[in-house]
Structure 1
Amino acid sequence: MNIFQDWPEPIVPIPIIDIGRLCTDDITLQTKTLDQISKACREWGFFQVVNHGMSPQLMDQAKATWREFFHLPMELKNMHANSPKTYEGYGSRLGVEKGAILDWSDYYYLHYQPSSLKDYTKWPSLPLHCRDILEDYCKDMVKLCENLMKILSKNLGLQEDRLQNAFGGKEESGGCLRVNYYPKCPQPELTLGISPHSDPGGLTILLPDEQVAGLQVRGSDDSWIIVEPAPHALIVNIGDQIQMLSNSIYKSIEHRVIVNPAFERLSLAFFYNPKGNVPIEPLKELVTVDSPALYSSTTYDRYRQFIRTQGPRSKCHIDELKSPRS
Structure 2
Amino acid sequence: MPKRHMEQQPISEWPEPVVAVQLIAESGISSIPERYVKPLEDRPALVYATCREPTVPVVDLGKLSVGSLDYSSELRSIADACAEWGIFHVANHGVDAELARAAMATWREFFHLPADEKQKLANSPATYEGYGSRLGVEEGAALDWGDYFFLHLLPCELKNLEKWPMQPSNCREVTEEYGRQMLKLCGALMKVLSMSLGLDVGFLQEKFGGEDNIGACIRVSFYPKCPQPELTLGLSAHSDPGGLTVLLPDDRVPGLQVRKGDTWVPVQPLPGAFLVFIGDQIQVLTNSAYRSVDHRVVVNEAAERISIAFFYNPRSDLPLGPARELVTPERPPLYPAMTFNEYRLYMRKKGPRGKSQVESLQAV
Instruction: Report the TM-score when normalising by structure 1.
Output: 0.92
CA distance in 2, matches of 1:128, 1:288: 54
Q: Equivalent residues in 2 for 1:188-227 (5 A)?
A: 188-220=229-261, 222-227=262-267
Report whether the alignment pairs 1:135 with 2:140. no
Aligned in 2, Cα 1:97/1:70: closer, same or farther, shift over 3 Å?
farther
Give the structure 2 partner of residue 317 of structure 1.
Answer: 357
Instruction: Please say if 1:89 is aligned against 2:130.
Output: yes
Report the Cα offset of residue 303 of structure 1.
Answer: 0.7
Residue in 2 that maps onto 1:57: 98
Q: Offset of 1:307 from its aligned partner?
A: 3.2
Structure with the larger strand share: 1
Q: Alpha-carbon deviation of 1:190?
A: 1.9
Structure 1: runs of 5+ lacking an equivalent: none
Aligned position for 2:5 = none
Quick one: distance in 1 between partners of 2:100 and 2:211?
A: 24
Paired residue secondary structure (1:158): coil
Q: Kindly indicate whether residue 62 of structure 2 is the aligned counterpart of residue 20 of structure 1.
A: yes
2:165 corresponds to 1:124: yes
The residue aligned with 1:243 is 283
Match of 1:145 in 2: 186
Q: CA deviation at 1:97?
A: 10
Q: 2:329 aligns with which of 286, 289, 294?
A: 289
CA 1:24–1:153: 2 relative to 1, 3 Å: closer
Whether the 8 Å CA contact 2:138–2:350 is kept in 1: the answer is no
Equivalent residue number for residue 79 of structure 1: 120
Cα deviation, 1:247-300, whole Å, max 9, x if unaligned, reads 000011111000000000000000001111101100001111111111111111
**Does 2:323 match 1:270?**
no
8 Å contact from structure 1 (residues 204, 271) kept in 2: yes
State percent identity of aligned pairs.
53
Moved more, 264-273 or 288-297: 288-297
Q: Deviations over 1:37-93 (max 9, x none)?
A: 111001110000111000111110000000000000001111211134331001124
Residue deviations 1:220-244 (CA, integer Å, cap 9, x gap): 2x11100011101100010000000
The residue type equivalent to 1:56 in the other structure is A
Q: Pick closer, same or farther for the CA change 1:31–1:188 going to 2, 3 Å.
A: same
Conserved 8 A contact 1:17-1:36:
yes
**3-state DSSP class of the match of 1:192?**
coil
Distance change (3 Å), C-alpha of 1:289 and 1:271: same
TM-score by length of 2: 0.83
Tell me the distance in 2 between the aligned counterparts of 1:147 and 1:6: 32
State the alpha-carbon separation in 1 of the partners of residues 302 and 138 from structure 2: 22
- Summarize the Cα distance change of 1:120–1:100 in structure 2 as closer, same or farther, 3 Å threshold: closer
Deviations 1:79-120 (A, max 9, x none): 2111343310011249x9999964101100000112222222
Change (3 A) 1:139 1:34: same
CA 1:84 to 1:243, structure 2 compared with 1: closer, same or farther past 3 Å?
A: closer
Unaligned ranges ≥5, structure 2:
1-45
Number of aligned residue pairs: give it: 318
